[in-house]
Amino acid sequence: MSFIEMKNVTKTYRMGEVEIKALDEVGFGIEKGEFVVIVGPSGAGKTTILNILGGMDTATSGEIYVDNETITQFDEKALTTYRRDDVGFVFQFYNLIGNLTAVENVELALQISQNPLSAKTVLQEVGLGNRMDNFPAQLSGGEQQRVSIARALAKNPKLLLCDEPTGALDYITGKSILKLLQDTCREKGVTIVVITHNLAIAPMADKVIKVKNGKIDQILMNKRPTPVEYIEW
Amino acid sequence: MTKGMRKDFRREVKHSFSRFLSILLISALGVAFFAGVRSASPAMLASADATYDSENLTDIRILGTLGMTKDDVATLLSLDGVQGAEGIFTKDLLCETDKQIVVAKALSLTDSINLLKVKQGRFPESYNECIVDGAFLEASGYTLGDTVRLKTGTEEKLSDTLAEDEFLIVGVGETAYYMDDDRGSAAIGDGTVDGLVIIPKEAFTQEFYSEVLVTMTGAAEMSCFSDEYDALLNRVRANIESIEEQSCAARLAKFRQDADSKLNDAKFEFQKKKDKAISDLGDAYQTLMNSQAELESGRQEIEQKRGDIEELRMLLDSGDERVESGKTQIAEARQAINDLEAQKNELEAEIERQEAAVVEKEKQLQKDAPYISNQEYYQRSLEIVRDTATVEYYKNQLPTIEQSIAAVNERVEIAEAFIEDYPKAAATARERIAEGEKQLEEAEKKIQDGEIALDRAKEDYEVASEDAEAEITAAEERLQKSEDEINNMQMPKWYILDRTSISSYAAFKNDADSIRAVGTVFPVIFFLVAALVSLTTMTRMVEEERTEIGTLKALGYSKRAITAKFVLYALLSTLIGSILGAALGEALLPTLIIRTYRLVYTNLTKVVITVQLLNAVIAALLAVLATVGGAMAASVRVLFEEPASLMRPAAPQMGKRIFMEDIDFIWLRLNFAQKAACRNLFRYKKRLFMTILGVAGCTALLLVGFGIRDSVKMVPEKQFGEVVAYQGTVGADTSLSRAERRQLLAKVASVEGVTDYLQTKSIVTYAQTEKGETTAYLIVPQDTAKLGEYVHLRTARFPHEDCRLTDDGVLITAKFAKLLGVSVGDMITIKEDKTADPVGDVRVAGIVENYLNHYIYMTPNIYKALYGETASLNAALIQTQEGADAGKIAESLLQINGVTSVTMNADTQRQVNEMLGNLTVIIAVMILAAGLLAFIVLYNLNNINITERRRELATLRVLGFYDGELAAYVYRENVILTLFGIVCGLLLGFVLHWFVMQTIATEMVMFGVGIRALSYLFSVLLTVVFAALVNFIMYFRLKKIDMVESLKSVE
């Protein structure tokens, strides 16, 4: 069995009298240390997959296994524990606490973590060694996203989930963030799942999962992922 | 406004209806509280006024020291400004039921003034029927149809007051004159009137009215609490005062006339009685003397009888002897007779022999005659003659012997007869002796009894004569006194009393004033907070819609058009809320408050809600101003930004370092969460300020609420617990003589439970300085040194220093000193009353602690120097055993002759405590207000807080914060703010409390400004509870935060 295994996951939302199937019998597997990109157009169900995978939402039916645990059977408390111990999140809009400095934002996550890394080390690793005491408002978008990544990494998670991490960034900055993620995956062996609508990013992944209308359209394996530097969009 | 904008506005209201509603409700609450509480006091007064008018309550009462006459009533009726005048009789009487003695105030039924409201039954129709009030029924346990039996409880005869002593209860009525359950005090029973018994006038036998009730022309149309009423009152009072002297003079003349004729009658009666007493006494003496004489003669008789018996006894004793000697005598006499018989026989024989010899000799001679010489013959014849003479002699001797024999025989006979008769005679004598002795015994007993009776009679006579003497002296004294009294009778005086002399009127006005004081401060705080909350909500709304504002601006809408939406939103919600609040507040709050007070003022029959439009308008205007102003200010600020920047999401708020971070000492000690909380606190300054204000307001309201109670409660506690060390005051008849007073005091001291007393001169005086004037009690203790045992004389301010009453000057009480504006060493002018000429000035030697009423303590020497006469003692302060029944003691004291009044401190304390009960209303209002305030503010602010930080909180959830951790993250700030707010609130409350106590303080009472530690604790705890409640509710909102929020773009 894969490190992460999704089996026949269906998610239906009820909007008044209408039932909307956000996910319809979705199934795929992700190996430990893989860099996975999930792509698809807006409304295809990417974010729903991420939400369910990250324990922020529950599936209507189907099973999800993460590191031999069936998270679809978790109750809310277990899900929270799962989020705090096993999952790191990188948000499209960084979601830093504006009132805390870079290092404090990282520390915020460390407060609740089981075996965290040093906040300062992680920040140095993401290249923010000299901006640690700055407040988010004093940082550029890229820098904020790096703090966000550092915050996620510092928890030492099994799984790093990134929701459009470059969505709010310009091309160059976005590229550097992707590079950071790819390097992290390669160097630290962290399993990373990136969600994007930008197909151009796909070549850098080990595995590309294409989603369309709540269903898996295609799963591609890149034997030789392209380094970020060579990707253009 | 374009059609599109109107549609947008409608949708906006619909969409954000909860916000619209929240502003509406907050405005409504603020305005309701502001307008409502402020309207409560006027409504209370209006209700009282309406109740008074409905019963045509007397405006002025006139009490005369010698009663009031029908002429007085007629004169009063003719006065300008007097609409009605009616005399009434009142008398405090006792009504003894099976279980207890009830003190009833007997009142005469009125025709036009102080009308009674019949609640049950009917008015009395005949002179032996009565109508009573509920309090009387409650105290006596009687019901309609029972018969009340009244008695005076003193030596007075009931017939001097009432024609009947039994009255059938035919109805139950109530009067606003006694609005609460205080029926005043009495000089009989336990000193407290329990209820009213109202009887037709005809049943009263009193000659003079106890008081005259007067109503003023046009007073009913005014509020009796208004200035115009006071002006009218002063005018009418002046009119009444103008006729006082004349009426009083007439009354005095009548009194003198009546009294003189009465005195003469009494004198005549006395003389008659005296004469009779003296003659009775004389008769008694005569009788006494007679019986003594009788006794004496009886005694003599006994003596005589005793002699007789003795004689008999002696006779009896010699009788036996005589029998013996008689027998011997008889024997001797027989012997003598025998001897005599022998002698006689011998003599007779001799005679015979001699005669024979003579015969022989004669014969011989005859024979020899012739033979013998003459001589011889002669011789022989001579011899014969001699012999014949001898025979003759012998013969002569014979009868003598016979006589002797006869005499002896006689004696023998007598002796024999005696001996024969003696036994019979002895028996008779013995009988007579026995009889005599018996008689003697009886006679002696009779004498003895007679002696005892005489002694007793003598004693009785002595006592009777002494008594008669004393009685006569006393009667003479009494007559003298009455005569003196008549001669010294001073001009009677009128007491012209207005409604403030009615205790429930004063108490109710006091309560209304308290509510007014509450109304001046608290609704304002409450309102301010409500306005600020609305303002914050509006500001927040404008900020939320910045993108829309930008879009509209970009589309070319004018600033005014854009602003209009927010202004309209604010205006509409606030205006509706204000109108709703004003209507509800003005209708409900005064009603609620009055209804609560009616639990105490049960006879407040009318409830009038006066619409205080001004309060409502002011409140609504201020509320609208706050929200609309807030909306305008916020939108103007936003409108000055460029449309482009408006359409971009707002720059994330700058994180800032706070000053605390520079203080390593503190900062390094805080853990991460605490640091974050500290920084968050200062990040939302508006919220910080508002929360502190809200919480502080809540705590302050609670503290003031509890504090008012503490301060008022402190008055009796301090006064009777610390200052006053006596338990009651006994007033004595001033006309008592020194001996009578001593007797009275001995009786006072012997009342069970009374341990000690201190004689005083206690009068009401008037004191004046340039800065102030007021009435006060003047107390002159007989024993200056002992005063300290009865009143704890110490300085008012902490640390208390003991004071002593010396001839140096007077001691006055603290509040009194404050009113007069004097300090130690200053002089005050003493007068008998406000209008009298000054008696003199005295120096203030000390200012002592006191909380109730005003007192001047003065030594007898100062009094003498001031008044020019020795202080006549007329009262005594008494101390009683701990735990003694004050009611019983009062009852016993009142039964003592000469005691005119008894005031037990326990009663006063109880009354004050009852008053305290009324304060519960205020406290309840405060707690309600505080709770609402805390709730509104904290709920709103928490709501805004959570809404504003929804994304942040969602992120934290994604990061894996448990619910508890998330709550702690948010609550940590709330807790700090709440605690800070509480500290501020305690300070604010302390200051407000001081302010309120200054406002509601009445002249006679000095409230403490102290608040109990427990009240601080309760205020804090209740605030914490309110805050905790809000946070608890917020917890569920926190739990509901959707993590998906974290993925959304920044608004």
Domain that holds residue A190: 4-230
In terms of Cβ atoms closer than 10 Å to its own Cβ (0-12, 13-18, 19+), residue B577 is: buried
8 Å CB contact of A98 and B652: yes
B894 domain residue, yes or no? yes
CA A97 to chain B, closest CA, distance in angstroms equals 6
CA A223 to chain B, closest CA, distance in angstroms equals 32
Among A46, A85, A99, pick the best mutation site for testing chain B contact (most B Cβ within 10 A): A99
Both B221 and B275 in a single domain? no
Which one of B462, B488, B514 terminates a domain? B488
**Pair type for strands B60-68 and B209-216:** antiparallel
8 Å CB contact of B959 and A108: yes
CA A48 to chain B, closest CA, distance in angstroms equals 10
8 Å CB contact of A57 and B1043: yes
Both B735 and B875 in a single domain? yes
8 Å CB contact of B952 and A97: yes
pLDDT score of A73 more than 70: yes
Chain A residues with CB inside 8 Å of B1048's CB? 93
Residue B1051 pLDDT class (50, 70, 90 cuts): very low
| Residue range B203-228: mean pLDDT, rounded | 91
Cis peptide before B799 (omega within 30 of 0): yes
The DSSP H or E segment spanning B838 is strand B838-848
Among A52, A97, A106, A195, pick the best mutation site for testing chain B contact (most B Cβ within 10 A): A97
What's the distance, Cα to Cα, between the start and end of chain B in Å?
A: 26
Residue A95 pLDDT class (50, 70, 90 cuts): confident
Nearest CA in chain A to B652: A137
Here the tokens at position B199 are 């009887």
Both B123 and B205 in a single domain? yes
Least confident window among A93-102, B643-652, B784-793, B889-898? B643-652
Both B758 and B901 in a single domain? yes
Residue B652 pLDDT class (50, 70, 90 cuts): low
8 Å CB contact of A95 and B965: no
What's the domain count of chain A? 1
Chain B residues with CB inside 8 Å of A87's CB? 960
CA A167 to chain B, closest CA, distance in angstroms equals 11
User: What pLDDT score does B647 carry?
Assistant: 65
pLDDT score of A217 more than 60: yes
Residues B385, B387: Cα–Cα separation, whole Å: 5
Give SS3 for B170: strand
Segment of A32-41, B256-265, B559-568, B939-948 carrying the highest mean pLDDT? A32-41
Both B295 and B220 in a single domain? no
B914 domain residue, yes or no? no
Residue A45's closest CA among A180, A168, A209, A207? A209
CB B41 within 8 A of CB B512: yes
Which one of B488, B513, B543 terminates a domain? B488
Give SS3 for B482: helix
Chain B residues with CB inside 8 Å of A91's CB? 955, 958, 1046-1047
User: What pLDDT score does B951 carry?
Assistant: 83
Chain A residues with CB inside 8 Å of B679's CB? 99-100
pLDDT score of B193 more than 90: no
In this structure, the number of other CB atoms found within 10 A of the CB of residue B534 comes to: 29
Q: pLDDT tens-digit profile of B15-43?
A: 888 788 888 888 888 888 888 888 888 99
Selecting from B651, B679, B1049 the residue whose C-beta is nearest the C-beta of A137 gives B651
Residue B648 pLDDT class (50, 70, 90 cuts): low
Among B654, B662, B959, pick the best mutation site for testing chain A contact (most A Cβ within 10 A): B959
pLDDT score of B1004 more than 70: no
Q: What CATH number is associated with residue A132? A: 3.40.50.300
Nearest CA in chain B to A153: B959
CA A216 to chain B, closest CA, distance in angstroms equals 22
Residues B782, B765: Cα–Cα separation, whole Å: 18
Give SS3 for B433: helix
pLDDT score of B780 more than 90: yes
The DSSP H or E segment spanning B841 is strand B838-848
Here the tokens at position B815 are 């509040």
Establish if B749 touches chain A: CB-CB under 8 angstroms: no
Q: pLDDT tens-digit profile of B682-733?
A: 777 777 888 888 888 889 888 888 888 888 778 788 888 888 999 998 888 7
What's the domain count of chain B? 3
**Residue A109 corresponds to which amino acid?**
A
8 Å CB contact of A135 and B654: yes
B664 domain residue, yes or no? no
CB B790 within 8 A of CB B805: no
Q: pLDDT tens-digit profile of B396-446?
A: 888 888 888 888 888 888 888 888 888 888 888 888 888 888 888 888 888
C-alpha distances in Å from residue B245, one per residue of B72, B239, B248, B492, B887: 11, 12, 5, 9, 41
Torsion of CA B862, B868, B872, B873, to 10 degrees: -10
Residue B61 pLDDT class (50, 70, 90 cuts): very high
Nearest CA in chain A to B953: A97
In terms of Cβ atoms closer than 10 Å to its own Cβ (0-12, 13-18, 19+), residue B445 is: exposed
Q: What is the 3-state secondary structure (H, E, C) of A166-233?
A: CCCCCHHHHHHHHHHHHHHHHHHCCEEEEEECCHHHHHHCCEEEEEECCEEEEEEECCCCCCHHHCCC
Nearest CA in chain A to B951: A95
B152 domain residue, yes or no? yes
| Residue range B650-657: mean pLDDT, rounded | 62
CA A50 to chain B, closest CA, distance in angstroms equals 11
pLDDT score of B651 more than 80: no
Residues B526, B705: Cα–Cα separation, whole Å: 14
pLDDT score of B667 more than 70: yes
Buried b (16+ CB within 10 A) or exposed e, B605-616: bbbbbbbbeebb
Dihedral over Cα of A67, A70, A72, A78: its sign? negative
Least confident window among B134-138, B486-490, B844-848, B878-882? B486-490
Residues B903, B248: Cα–Cα separation, whole Å: 30
pLDDT score of B599 more than 80: no
In this structure, the number of other CB atoms found within 10 A of the CB of residue A43 comes to: 13
List B residues 676-715 in contact with A (Cβ-Cβ < 8 A).
676, 679-680, 683
Both B216 and B301 in a single domain? no
CB B540 within 8 A of CB B944: yes
pLDDT score of B249 more than 70: yes
User: What pLDDT score does B1 carry?
Assistant: 64
Selecting from A56, A107, A135 the residue whose C-beta is nearest the C-beta of B672 gives A107
**Pair type for strands B129-132 and B209-216:** unpaired
Q: Which residues of A touch B (CB under 8 A)?
A: 47, 51, 54, 56-57, 77, 80-85, 87, 89, 91-93, 95, 97-101, 104, 107-109, 111-112, 135-138, 151, 163
User: What pLDDT score does B1049 carry?
Assistant: 65
8 Å CB contact of A98 and B654: yes
User: What pLDDT score does B289 carry?
Assistant: 82
8 Å CB contact of A104 and B653: no
B531 domain residue, yes or no? no
Establish if B293 touches chain A: CB-CB under 8 angstroms: no
Q: Across chain A, what does the average pLDDT equal? A: 88
Chain B residues with CB inside 8 Å of A137's CB? 651-655
Residues A105, A97: Cα–Cα separation, whole Å: 6
Q: What CATH number is associated with residue B382? A: 1.10.287
List B residues 960-979 in contact with A (Cβ-Cβ < 8 A).
960-963, 965
Residue B94 backbone class (left: φ over 0; alpha: ψ -120 to 50; beta: rest): beta
User: What pLDDT score does B1001 carry?
Assistant: 65
Residues B577, B570: Cα–Cα separation, whole Å: 10
Here the tokens at position B785 are 């040194």
Q: What is the 3-state secondary structure (H, E, C) of B195-234?
A: EEEEECHHHECCCCEEEEEEEECCCCCCCCCCHHHHHHHH
* Count, residues in chain A: 233
Nearest CA in chain B to A111: B672
Q: pLDDT tens-digit profile of B258-277?
A: 888 888 888 888 888 888 88
Residues B394, B712: Cα–Cα separation, whole Å: 154
Residues B661, B675: Cα–Cα separation, whole Å: 9
Which one of B465, B488, B511 terminates a domain? B488
Chain A residues with CB inside 8 Å of B655's CB? 98-101, 135-138
Chain B residues with CB inside 8 Å of A57's CB? 1043-1044
Domain that holds residue B213: 54-238
| Residue range B118-124: mean pLDDT, rounded | 91
Least confident window among B233-247, B334-348, B362-376, B784-798? B362-376
Among B679, B958, B969, B973, pick the best mutation site for testing chain A contact (most A Cβ within 10 A): B958
Residues B741, B172: Cα–Cα separation, whole Å: 43
**Pair type for strands A18-30 and A4-15:** antiparallel
User: What pLDDT score does B47 carry?
Assistant: 92
CB B539 within 8 A of CB B630: yes
User: What pLDDT score does B655 carry?
Assistant: 64
B495 domain residue, yes or no? no
B573 domain residue, yes or no? no
CA B1042 to chain A, closest CA, distance in angstroms equals 9
Query: Which residue reads 């003895």 in tokens?
Result: B448
8 Å CB contact of A97 and B955: yes
Q: pLDDT above 90 covers what percent of chain B?
A: 16
Q: Across chain B, what does the average pLDDT equal? A: 84
Segment of B111-125, B188-202, B456-470 carrying the highest mean pLDDT? B111-125
Residue B582's closest CA among B613, B540, B545? B613
In sequence order, the 6+-apart residues with CB closer than 8 A to the CB of B483 are B263
CA A119 to chain B, closest CA, distance in angstroms equals 13
Selecting from A51, A85, A112 the residue whose C-beta is nearest the C-beta of B1044 gives A51
8 Å CB contact of B672 and A111: yes
C-alpha distances in Å from residue A2, one per residue of A23, A33, A69, B599: 21, 11, 12, 79
8 Å CB contact of A95 and B1043: no
Both B231 and B286 in a single domain? no
Establish if B470 touches chain A: CB-CB under 8 angstroms: no
Residue B362 pLDDT class (50, 70, 90 cuts): confident
Both B213 and B69 in a single domain? yes
CB B890 within 8 A of CB B191: yes
